[in-house]
Amino acid sequence: MTTDRLAIGIRFSVCVLAVMLFAACAEAPPPPPPPPPPPQTYTVPINEQLEGNWSATFPEGQRQVTIQPDPQLGDHNYVARLVDGDYGTIHPGAVLFTATPNPSIPNLVNGDQKCSLPGRMGLLHAPMSIAIEDKDHFTETLRNPGTCPGFPMKFARISSR
């Protein structure tokens, strides 16, 4: 009889344990789903934001320059044209420089400056770089200082208001 009671007690304990386990499993909420990934944002590097109207410090005084996408190369390749006044033999509407953003350095643009020297026929092409300070200011320097007069040149964006 003791064996029967022991067997009944063991069966009862196993049943109680099984019910407790099933109850515990049923009560546990499922884990929450992972949060959605953050939205993808793309900020345009500052060296791809040069398009617009600028005031530049030429040797003859302030001149307005417009920078637009280069129609021959497109994308973020630039061509700068003189809007008013002259720079040596470069007259309004003429190309001052062509440039391309440096893909490795977000505030650097490299290009080719055109200038004329007194008493010299034709245009001189000088390698240059643009160091962008912020979205409204940059400085253009020549890789070979003294090649063209008036460098480094400071540029300030002209507000569209």
12 inside domain: no
Q: How many domains does the chain have?
A: 1
- The pLDDT tens digits of the residues spanning 5-39 come to 776 777 777 766 666 666 655 566 788 888 888 88
Give pLDDT, residue 59: 85
Q: Which residue has the higher pLDDT, 25 or 63?
A: 63
Residue 4 belongs to some domain of the structure? no
**Range of lowest pLDDT (8-12, 43-47, 58-62, 152-156):** 8-12
Is 79 a member of any domain?
A: yes
* Range of the structural domain that residue 84 is part of: 47-157
Is residue 31 included in any domain, yes or no? no
Report how far apart, in Å, the C-alpha atoms of 6 and of each of 3, 10, 121 are: 5, 6, 117
Does residue 154 register a pLDDT over 70?
yes
The one-letter code for the residue type at 56 is: A
Which tens digit of pLDDT belongs to each residue from 97-146? Answer: 999 999 899 899 999 999 887 777 778 899 999 999 999 999 999 999 98
In a domain, 72, yes or no: yes
Q: Which of 12-16, 58-62, 79-83 has the lowest mean pLDDT?
A: 12-16
The whole model's pTM is what? 0.70
- CATH label of the domain that carries residue 129: 2.40.128
Q: Which two tokens stand for residue 52?
A: 């617009």
Q: What pLDDT score was predicted for residue 55?
A: 96
Report if residue 55 sits inside a domain. Answer: yes
Does some domain include residue 53? Answer: yes
* 35 falls within a domain: no
